[in-house]
Amino acid sequence: MARFTFLHAADLHLGSPFVGLTLKEPEIAARFSTAGREAFSALVDRAIEEKVAFVLIAGDVYDREWRDTSIGLFFNREVSRLARADVPAFLIRGNHDAESVVTKSLPAPEGVHGFSARKPETHRLDDLKVAIHGQSFPDRAVGENLAINYPDPEPGWFNIGLLHTSLDGRPGHATYAPCTIEDLRLRNYDYWALGHIHAHEIVSRDPFVVYPGNLQGRNIRETGEKGAVLVSVENGSVSQIEHLVFDRARWARVSVDIAEVEDEPGLLALVQSSLRDALAGPDDRLLALRLTLSGVGPLHHHLVAERERLAAEVQAICHHIHLDLWLERLVVATRAPERSLQAVGELSAIDVDVLLAQIAEEPDIAEEVSALVTQIGTRLPAGIAIEGALDPAALIAEARDLAVARCGGGAG
């Protein structure tokens, strides 16, 4: 059997809306929004450069129904480049671009092969003796095990299963087309090209079961390098799997503890050194940063009261480190040191901190805030209210801290 290589990608999510800097930096947000397309173009470049035998895309080429044909035309243009280089592409639909979700279409270029949503199909590459088995999603929510109905392997060939699945579940991802590693093993394939989970993972090596991760991070939950995998096959077996990085914008989280910080200049110096350490190394990518200030310290109330101004200071530091490092959000998750009521002295009777703490514990307050949060949440664009940003308890605590800071409570 000939030696060959192929690229395995998944979860391109072309057309996905950008979530993060849109309101504050529209020009930068626009650059982030094109990163997904640029990443796919880079993948096509690499596939042609490496002279791979074929490209696999394991679902979610598109993020949602097209608003117009521009996203479909872009994809067709890029895969046409593969076709002109004699690199066929094989793809399935996942939960985001299922047949019932993305109903618009354009004629696929020659050399691009999709899989039916009605039943599993097999595409064969006779010259390589490769059989690719797969099935698309008919609808967004596929609850049945698709893998158990995949066809038997072609004897003496290299068999690949192309499947969009959550396996037996992964944190942060909805369960679709669930199955177990044993289900996959029983098909006796040589390689399972999976999609749906946005982190790169080699789940199994016997047989090879691989998630390439998504091609481009889309929000702060998708940090770190993103790309696809280059798979080498020799003598009918996988000999090497290499994760290739294609993202054109990257998300990062950095946390700074304020416990030992006494004043704002000291804090900014600590932030700068922490960012340099965490984001070391030359890189021409756009970078979006979420900075979290944590810990217990006397600066707590000052940080709450001055958060907007401090965010601008941090952004300036970001530009000193990297011209395209942008602050996605400054999170103040600090706490003030415990104070004894005796230390407050004669003012204890009107201690603002104590008074607001008592108000915050009132059930009626919690109910009103919860109702407001629900009302606001229904009006926000999809993806804005993520990671507890509209958690009622957190909002009450933050409002209390801000009120204390404005009233002059606390040190700093």
53 and 186 part of one domain: yes
The series of mean pLDDT values per 10 residues for the chain, 412 residues long, is 94 83 73 92 98 97 82 94 97 82 76 94 97 94 93 98 90 83 97 97 97 94 95 97 96 96 96 91 83 96 94 96 92 84 44 52 59 60 50 61 56 43
Q: Please state the length of the chain.
A: 412
- The reply to whether 108 and 214 lie within a common domain is yes
Residues 198 and 259 in one domain: no
Q: Is the same domain home to 223 and 277?
A: no
Q: Are 219 and 19 in contact (CB under 8 A)?
A: yes
Tokens read off for 273: 């050194």
Q: Are residues 327 and 348 in the same domain?
A: no
Euclidean distance between CA atoms 81 and 198, whole angstroms: 26
The reported pLDDT for the residue numbered 97 is: 77
Helix H or strand E segment including 47 = helix 35-50
Same domain, 218 and 260: no
**pLDDT on residue 305:** 93
Residues 235 and 202 in one domain: yes
Domain end: 337, 363, 389, which one? 337
Q: Please provide the DSSP assignment of 361-389 as one string.
A: T-HHHHHHHHHHHHHHHTTSPTTSS-TTT
CATH number of the domain enclosing 98: 3.60.21.10
Answer yes or no: do 162 and 289 share one domain: no
CA distance 318 to 325: 6
- Please tell me whether residues 9 and 110 are part of one structural domain: yes
Give me the pLDDT at residue 102, please.
64
3-state SS record for 287-355? EEEEEEEEEECCCHHHHHHCHHHHHHHHHHHHHHHCCCEEEEEEEEEEECCCCCHHHHHHHHHHCHHHH
* Residues 285 and 139 both lie in one domain: no
Give the domain-ending residue among 200, 222, 245. Answer: 245
Same domain? 147 vs 42: yes
Structural tokens at position 26: 């529209």
Same domain, 25 and 154: yes
- 384: domain range? 343-412
Report which DSSP code applies to 410.
S
pLDDT given at position 341: 38
pLDDT at 383: 46
Domain boundary among 185, 217, 245: 245
In the chain, the number of structural domains is: 3
For residue 30, how many C-alpha atoms fall within 13 Å in the half-sphere facing its CB?
Answer: 2
